């Protein structure tokens, strides 16, 4: 039995599936990942991207932060790909109970998925750092200046920067979902970003599957690893989809 057939068997025999996804899930939608050889962190900038996307940099270099944010993290026009679409069908079938994503692009929701836990926030939510008034993403991306609220204070995207904590409620819901899962699909993530990567260790179910173009530090924990193009994997899964 090949790996795709084995994965299909796992999916067909599972009633509680949880999906844990990273940047590789969205690359087929034209959004760059971070750590692969073609990723954002291997491009050259005035400052290292990991430094730009830190809380300290945001506080001290707002103009440079927003220039990078607008240039590299604007994915408003991105469309869901076959992975997002397959997961929506799997959720609608009743098998997929939760999608836990490290992505901030809202593509799971655009595809129609309902139960999505966003570990690192979303570009679609933006708040005044003082009065907490909400602003749509266009306020950030269509403005060449540092975005400010009607009250005069700074607007910040609701994305988790380096040095910032994850949302406590989202953490607890994610861990509970993983603990209760029968099948855990870990897709498109290097599993090197802490604390998100550590959540995998809460899994106590039947099968852990890791699908990623490159190997990960947790491959040895998986029942099945597939190091192939994610889009191709989900196209094959979609062809054999069973309701």
Closest by Cα among 238, 242, 205 to 82: 238
Query: Strands, DSSP E only, in 52-137?
Result: 96-101, 116-118, 121-128, 134-135
| Beta strand spans in 13-101 (E) | 17-21, 96-101
Q: Which of helix, strand or coil describes residue 76?
A: coil
Cβ–Cβ under 8 Å, residues 178 and 204: no
Helices (H) then strands (E): counts for the chain: 9, 9
Contact criterion met (CB below 8 Å) for 224 and 14: no
How far is the C-alpha of 202 from the C-alpha of 191, rounded, in Å? 14
Q: Long-range CB contacts (< 8 A, 24+ apart) of 197-203?
A: 199/20, 199/100, 199/171, 199/174, 199/175, 200/20, 202/175, 202/178, 203/178, 203/179
Spell out the residues 6+ positions from residue 131 whose beta carbon is closer than 8 angstroms to its own: 149, 151, 153
- Out of 55, 61, 84, 120, the active site residue is 120
SS3 label, residue 183: strand
**Is residue 120 among the annotated active site residues?**
yes
Backbone angles phi, psi at 142, to 5 degrees: -100, 10
Positions annotated as catalytic residues are 120
């Amino acid at each position: 039995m090949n790996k795709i057939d084995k994965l299909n068997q796992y999916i067909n025999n599972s009633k509680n599936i949880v999906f844990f996804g990273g940047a590789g899930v969205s690359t087929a939608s034209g959004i760059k990942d971070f750590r692969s050889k073609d990723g954002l962190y291997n491009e050259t900038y005035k400052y290292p991207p990991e430094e730009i996307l830190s809380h300290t940099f945001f506080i001290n270099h707002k103009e440079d932060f927003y220039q990078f944010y607008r240039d590299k993290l604007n994915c408003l026009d991105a469309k869901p790909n076959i992975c997002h679409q397959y997961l929506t069908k799997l959720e609608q079938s009743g098998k997929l109970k939760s999608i836990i994503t490290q992505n901030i692009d809202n593509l799971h929701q655009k595809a129609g998925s309902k139960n999505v836990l966003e570990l690192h926030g979303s570009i679609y939510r933006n708040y005044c750092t003082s009065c907490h008034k909400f602003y749509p993403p266009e306020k950030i991306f269509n403005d060449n200046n540092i975005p400010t609220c009607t009250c005069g204070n700074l607007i910040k995207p609701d994305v988790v920067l380096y040095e910032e904590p994850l949302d406590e409620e989202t953490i607890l819901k994610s861990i509970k979902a993983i603990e209760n899962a029968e099948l855990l699909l870990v897709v498109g993530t290097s599993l090197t970003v802490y604390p998100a990567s550590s959540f995998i260790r809460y899994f106590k179910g039947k099968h852990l599957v890791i699908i990623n173009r490159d190997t990960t530090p947790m491959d040895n924990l998986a029942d099945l690893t597939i190091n192939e193009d994610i889009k191709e994997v989900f196209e094959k899964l979609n062809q054999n989809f069973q309701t």
